[in-house]
Amino acid sequence: MFGRNDYVACDTRLYGDIAGSMILSACHAASEIRAMTRFAVVVAILATATAPAMAQQLRPKESLSFQVAKNDSANAEALANQLAALSPRVDRQEATLLATCAYATVNRLRQQYRMFGTPIFNNFLVYHGLRKRGYCYQWTEDLLVALDALKLKTFELHWGESYAGTWRENNCLVVTAKGQPFDRGMILDCWRHFGHLRWNLVLSDEDRYFENTKFAELVRARSASNTLRANRHVAFQARVAGRDKGGD
């Protein structure tokens, strides 16, 4: 039989066991809370670290935009549609980005070049130093550099030329879907239309255009080293150095 003291001792042990269990449970809970807190901090740090990289990946399609003149907006949309039609693999967002950048760039260059008269007369002004740029290859150089900066994934940019090495030479940019041959591409030409962007398929042009990959590489290398020259005096010359572009 238990006496009063025995009941007290039993109650004390019982309460002690309950209190111990509560303390142990509280310790486990605190430990779990600390672990969850540490995990949340790690997730937050990783999210902060990867956010710039993710933003950089999304930048070409989601954050770049270009101001297109009101009278060019319909043409820019039409060009985007035609570029998207080059291949089912083309990204429609990239087609729109490329078209708007091309029109915005050509409009800016037209003001910078201060085009005057006819294309040939403007060449005369460039040749005599009255204009800094404006030859057909200079239009193509500057447009290539601007579009290259978009880092497009579903398009490729090519250097096109017709009547190379003659007084009739003309240079242009040709856009193809990634992996497509040059002849399947779209011509982007500024010089022949006096600083206004015109475009058509390579095979539909009145002149036969050929790709010049070496000169495209040269332009890109000069752009990377910031050594594009303002004027190489190629028009109205009897002889043109082989490393430079000739003709118009």
Tell me the residue range of the domain where 198 lies: 70-224
pLDDT, residue 126, reads: 83
Considering the domain architecture, whether residues 194 and 99 belong to the same structural domain is answered as: yes
How do the pLDDT tens digits run along the chain, 248 residues long? 545 444 444 444 544 554 455 444 544 555 555 555 564 444 344 444 444 444 444 444 545 678 888 888 999 999 999 999 999 999 999 999 999 999 999 999 988 988 777 778 888 888 888 888 889 999 999 999 999 999 999 999 999 999 999 988 999 999 999 999 999 999 999 888 878 999 999 999 999 999 999 999 999 999 998 866 554 444 443 333 334 565 45
Q: Nearest to residue 110, comparing CAs of 131, 79, 83, 95?
A: 131
For residue 148, count other CB atoms closer than 10 A to its CB. Answer: 15
Q: Nearest to residue 188, comparing CAs of 154, 166, 156, 151?
A: 156
- Residue that is last in its domain, among 63, 89, 111: 63
Considering the domain architecture, whether residues 28 and 128 belong to the same structural domain is answered as: no
One-character DSSP codes across 9-57: HHHHHHHHHHHHHHHHHHHHHHHHHHHHHHHHHHHHHHHHHHHHHHHHH
pLDDT, residue 214, reads: 97
Considering the domain architecture, whether residues 13 and 131 belong to the same structural domain is answered as: no
Phi, psi of 19 (to 5 degrees): -60, -40
Alpha-carbon gap, residue 164 to 216, rounded angstroms:
14
What total of structural domains would you count in the chain?
2
Alpha-carbon gap, residue 56 to 19, rounded angstroms:
56
For residue 128, count other CB atoms closer than 10 A to its CB. Answer: 11
Alpha-carbon gap, residue 27 to 33, rounded angstroms:
10
Considering the domain architecture, whether residues 80 and 101 belong to the same structural domain is answered as: yes
Considering the domain architecture, whether residues 103 and 168 belong to the same structural domain is answered as: yes
